Each structure stands twice: as C-alpha cells, then as structure tokens.
Chains A and B, each alone.
Chain A
Amino acid sequence: MHRESDKALLRRFEPVLRYSPHERFFPIDVDAYVRDCSLWVYDPGRGPELLVPKGELTLERLGEFRFQGFHGLPYLKFIEPVSPAQMATYRLKQVREDLSEGRRRKRFRAETGRLARVGYVSRLVDALFSITLLARGRVTGDTAVAAGFAYERLIEEGARYVYYGRVVRRNGWIVLQYWFFYAFNDWRSGFYGANDHEADWEGVCIYLWEDETGVLKAEWIACAAHDEAGNDLRRRWDDPDLEKIEDHPVVYAAAGSHANYFQPGEYLAELKLAFLTPLGRMLDKVRKFQQSLFGKKQDRALRHPSEFFIRVPFIDYAAADGAAIGPGQSRVWSEPCLLDPVPSWAFSYRGLWGYYARDPASGEDAPAGPLYNRDGTMRLSWYDPVGWAGLSDALPPGIEVERSRQAKARAEKADETLQKQAAEQKEALINLSIEARAMHAHTHLKSAYRDHQAKMREKSGTLDEMHEQIASNKAMLEALDLHLKALDSGGRPSPRAHLRRPHLPASDVELRLSRLAETWAAISIGLAVMGLVALMLFAQDHLREGVAALAFTLVAIEAGFRRRLQRLIAGITVGLALACSVVIVYEFLWEILLSLVLLVSAHLLVQNLRELWRR
C-alpha cells in the first residue's frame, strides 16, 4: 500500500525533461544496460581482470557481487572498441544524413566560444588541461561512436524511458527523488565539454510538505549538476524562473553532460583546480585590501576574483528545442522503478557503472551507482537529500508556524521567570541598601557595613545582567511576534533570497561578444607563445622590454573586447603607485621617520598648548 502511494506521489510530480536537439542518450532502465555490460576489476598490481563476460551479467548477479580487498576497483564495461570498418560506416552515415534533403539535421555548433568568456590564465590552464588528456587516462575517441551504436541497439531491443524513484520523509519534508540513468556522457567528444564517460546518474529532488488539512504541497525543487551541493541547487516552487506543466516541473538537461538546469541557455561550468586554491585566496585578500584602501564598491563578478581567474571553462548547452520526456510530451515515462526497498544491485554493488579510465582527475571515469561516490563512500544526495539542497535548517511552512509558536511560548515563559527573579533581586538589593544606610556612621558595625557593600555590589551586577537579558528577550519576542504575523498572513521572503551564486544562463551581453573577440580568444594563447619565441630568437637584447610590451598588448586587446580597458589602466596605475611608494620609502626611510616624529611632536605641542590656553 505504502509502495503504491509512493509510486503515485512520484508520478504526480514527475518532471518533464527537455533536451538539446543534438542529445543522443536518454534515461533508460539499468536492466537493459547491465545485460549489455561485462564486469571487471582493476588491481593496480595486476591490471584489469574480467570477472563476468558480456551477456552473462544480470542485475541479480550484480547485486550478489561482493568484492574483497582494499586495492581493487570493480567496474562495468559497456563499450567494446569499434572496428575501422564500423567507424567508416558511421562516418559515411553521418555524411549521408548531412547531405540528404529529407533528414537534414544541423550539426552541433557552439555559440560564443567558451574561451571567449574567460581570461588568459584560464585559457592557458585549459591548453595545459587539454595536453594532459594525452597523458591521463581517458575514454578513447571512438567510444562515443560505439556508445551511440550500443545505445541504439538497446532502444531497438525495447529499453524504456524510465526513472528510478524514492520517497524520503525527513525533518517534516517529503522528498521525492528522481534518478535518471544515461548509458553514456559524451560532453567532451560531442559538445566541447570536460569529459566523456560511460554511465551517468543524474537526479532531481522535489520537497513537499503536508498542510493541516493533509494536502501535499510542493515547496522546493533541486537539480543535480556536476556533483555540486548547497542552496544554489534549489528553487522555490513559486519562483518565476521555474517552468511547470500542471504539477510537473520542467527541467533542462545539458547536452552530453546531462547536468540539470531550470532554464534553457548556456551555462559556464567551471572545473576548479584545487591545487591553485592558495593562490586564489591570496588574490582575494589583495583585492579586498585594495577595496578597503580606496573604499570603492566592486561589481558582483569581482567580489571573489579568484573564482573567475583560476578555472577551466566549459559550457553546458541546455537547449529547449530538442526531445522532451514527461507527461504530455512526445515521449513519456514508463512505470517508475522504486528504489525503496533499496534493490541489491544498488546497495551491494559499490563499483563503477562504466569503464574505469584511470584518470587521476576522475572526470573520465564512470560514476558509481545512485548510493555511492566513486570512492565507495555514500552519496550525500542519497543519505541526506535535505542537507544536500541546503535545507538542513529549513522547516516546511506548516511546521515552521507551529515551531515558531512553541519558540514564542518558550521565550515568554523564560522572560516571565526572569522578570520574577529580577524583581526578587531588586527587593533584596533595596533591603540591603536600607540596612547599609542604617549602619552607616556606626563604628561598631563597620565590618558588617563592608559585607553589605560587597553583597550590594554583587546583587547590583547580577541585576544589571538580568535587565540586559530581559531587554534582549523583549527584542527576541518582538521579532518572533513579527515573524509569526508574517507567517500567518502568508507573507514570505523572496523566492531567491537563499541564492548566493546560482546557475544562470549566459546573459545577452556575454553572448553578444563579437565574432572578432571569439576568434581572438581562440588564437591569443598560440600567438602569445609564438611572439615569445620570436623575441627569444630575434630580439634577445630587448627580451625584458619585449615581453612587457607583448604582455601589455595582449592584455590591452582583451580588456578592449571586454570593455574593461579603464579598469585595466586604473589597476596598472595603482600597481605603479605602489612600486613608487616602495622606492620612496627605500630611498628616504630615515627622512620619512624623522618627519613622522616631527609631525607627532608638533601635534603633541599644539594639543598641550591648547589645553594650557583653555585653563
């Protein structure tokens, strides 16, 4: 019965997923996928070892699999390398499709290049990142092609569009979890993204609460995107940016990566480089110091400059004009598969769900199942879906009213008790004061008088503290009262008040960067390196000046494209001013110190003379 109601609940709010027209992989059931996989284990000492060959693996067998040992990593392998003949057939098919009048399908073309949206350092890091792909483990180029073949075969064999659902009840929330399994992530090979890997688990969570009449109401929705967590992943149900078809939220899955977003558009996804974090922090501190020195406000993008400085940029293309799966769409969800009770294939198998590429950055390795991270630890979004979306300290509206009333009652009671204690203290203090006044000037009561004075001081101090606490309680009670009134009247904070750095599609201004800027972004790093080589070959005598001029020219051109020339000139001037200040201090340290001493003594002299004249 409970299982059926959970299923009905999941169906009532199941999301509509919209895809790019170039998307090739859609959510399917894991059963068909696993049957097409082989099971392997990788041991650093012994290399890969086949455990279950393709065609013999089932979900039940995967659920029974127990791996013993610290060093090995079990993984599934979905794709076998394609033969040159298959590859040639595929390419010919592509050409035929492009040429055919009836099935003219536009090839994917990125809009404003990702490199045009970031600075030189990121471009340089990106170039190095691309070079490291040659050395790092990676999914080979033909894998995406082979995955396309394999996926088409699965669909022909009857694989369904399906999601895996789970209902979690926690902190007053009823969390509906939707897990989508994709056979392949072709973000890098198909859409200029960061990685390719077999298997991809993505998720959407909807947070419901039950009002006093027992009606279930949706309050929040959170979408998984690139292993991130926190407040910025979620939107309130009444957020105007959230599109809905009746009770079904519309979610846009990015091409290739399948990261989920609330609006269509192009999103800058950043690969953060952990080893450069200390440098970034230092940069932040320098900027903050500069800001405090001149008291100027910086725009939002520059409050944490390191976040914009040290990253490898990739773009997630979340278009709205491709296929859609969900209620009322051309493709609909099959009966959902419940993950409650957790099936053994999800619980017992902690290995990877696709090829283990042995990539130290992990980007090219397949992910683990819905319960686990790649290292076998539990996924936060599984064991704490409330905390994963930053809702640990938030209560459902209905419960919040009740809890606020309880908090107010508690505060009132505490205040009453404190007032009573304060009154008793005050009474005792008055009594002590009367006795002390009576004892005053009686020599034989001198000792008792002193005791009274000490007690009075102690009581007076306690009373002061109590009055302070009473004032604070009063302010808290007023705040609670206002909060309750706001809750009762249905008043709520802005639906975006919780957002700090939300995922937003690129603005029109960013997309309007000219073609010239895009071309410049693509060639700038190459030109810079060539310029440097030319200087080393032909102008070794003026290498320093040449490098400075080259760097300034490159930076000035870039700043011109971004309309930041003014900021650049101002920044350079401030830098020069600091350098000159150092020169002045270095050359005239003694004179500066003497001048300071003279100034201080003159100030003291003036102050003392003023005081003298005022008497």
Chain B
Amino acid sequence: MQGTFSPGGSGTRERPGIAVKPKKHRTRLVSIVTFLLALEGAGFFSLALLQWLRGDLFEKVSIPGVGPSPFIAVFSFLGVLAVIATVGFYRLWPAAWITAVSVQGASLLLSLVLYATERPAYIYWIMIFCVVLVAYLNHGEIRSAFQRGPSRNSRGGSDA
C-alpha cells in the first residue's frame, strides 16, 4: 500500500488512517534558552562545588517553614532540575517548559527568602538570570514550541 511522506521530508512513512504528529523544530530562541538553562545548571553546581571546596560542607541556608537546610543539597537539587530542563529543551520534550519554569520559580523564591534573611551577594545574580529566563520562557515562540496541542477545555460550536 502506498503511503505518503511527512511534509518535513524526514523520511518517516505515514501509515494511512493514522494521524502523524507534526515534527517540531528547534528555533534560534529555543537554542538560546537551552544554552541559558545549561548555564544556570552549571552555575548552581558551581555554587555547590565552591562551597565544597571551601570546606563548609555543613553550612546551611535558613529557609523559613523548612528550617536550616544544607547549602550543597539545595543548590545541587536546583542544578539537577536545570540539567533535566536543558535536556528536555534540547530534545523538545513537552514537559521541559514547565520543568524550566518550576526551576525559575524555585530559584526566585529561594532568592527572595535569602534576601529577606541572610542576603548573600550572589542572590542578585540568580535573580537577574532567572528574571531574564522567565521573560524568555514566556515568549510566545517558546510556549508554542512546547504546547501539547489544543486545550481540552476549549469549546467548539460557536464561530462568533
């Protein structure tokens, strides 16, 4: 049976009667955000590493409601999430966008908490970096690249 080829010319043969998802391609903006996320992940790991090299393995950041938490563990966790988001952006996983946004949310929240308590100098850099990333992540082009398709809540029927 003769099949048709997908419009992207990727060579994948479309089976008749089965809908084929349109292949998404990585835009320049997605590549920029991927790079920034990788940089963010590296930054968090560097912060954790620096702390380790300084020998203050047990220094803690005080998070109200949570209590004092190990500095290395908090920043390593954020680093791991940032790496997952980077890989997701590179592979265009639909869940990558929300993972990246969650990392920014957690980082910004942590920065605000630290600003209210210990106020270390590096939090301003984290703040600036995350604000820039939030602006990028909310850009229409980035959102549409990771959209899962039409909303299930959308109601048809009216053409008004």
Contact = CB atoms under 8 A, between A and B. Distances in A.
Partners in one complex: yes
Interface of A: 293-297, 299-301, 494, 496-500, 502, 504, 507, 509, 542, 545-546, 548-549, 563, 566, 569-570, 572-574, 576-577, 579-581, 583-584, 587-588
Contacts, number: 92
Nearest to B64: A545
B5 interface: no
A588 B157 CA distance: 53
A496 B159 contact: yes
A508 to B, nearest CB: 10
Given A509-B152, A573-B102, 11 more contacts: A294-B138, A301-B153, A496-B159, A497-B159, A497-B160, A507-B155, A569-B101, A569-B105, A573-B104, A580-B127, A581-B127
A128 B105 CA distance: 34
B154 A579 contact: no
A563 B138 contact: no
Interface in B94-152: 98, 101-102, 104-105, 108-109, 111-112, 115, 124, 127-128, 130-131, 134-135, 138-140, 143, 151-152
A224 to B, nearest CB: 20
Interface in B26-51: none
Nearest to B127: A580
B158 to A, nearest CB: 6
B101 A577 contact: no
Interface of B: 64-65, 98, 101-102, 104-105, 108-109, 111-112, 115, 124, 127-128, 130-131, 134-135, 138-140, 143, 151-155, 157-160
Nearest to A497: B160
23 contacts: A296-B138, A299-B154, A301-B153, A496-B158, A499-B158, A500-B160, A502-B158, A504-B158, A507-B155, A509-B152, A509-B155, A548-B65, A569-B98, A569-B105, A573-B108, A574-B134, A574-B138, A576-B105, A576-B112, A577-B135, A579-B112, A580-B108, A583-B127
Contacts of A577: 104, 108, 130-131, 134-135
Majority SS of interface residues in chain B?
A: helix
B31 to A, nearest CB: 19
Contacts of B157: 504
B159 A566 contact: no
B138 A300 contact: no
Contact of B139 (A295, A502, A546): A295
B125 to A, nearest CB: 10
Give the one of A296, A496, A588 with max B CB within 10 A: A296
Give the one of B109, B139, B153 with max A CB within 10 A: B153
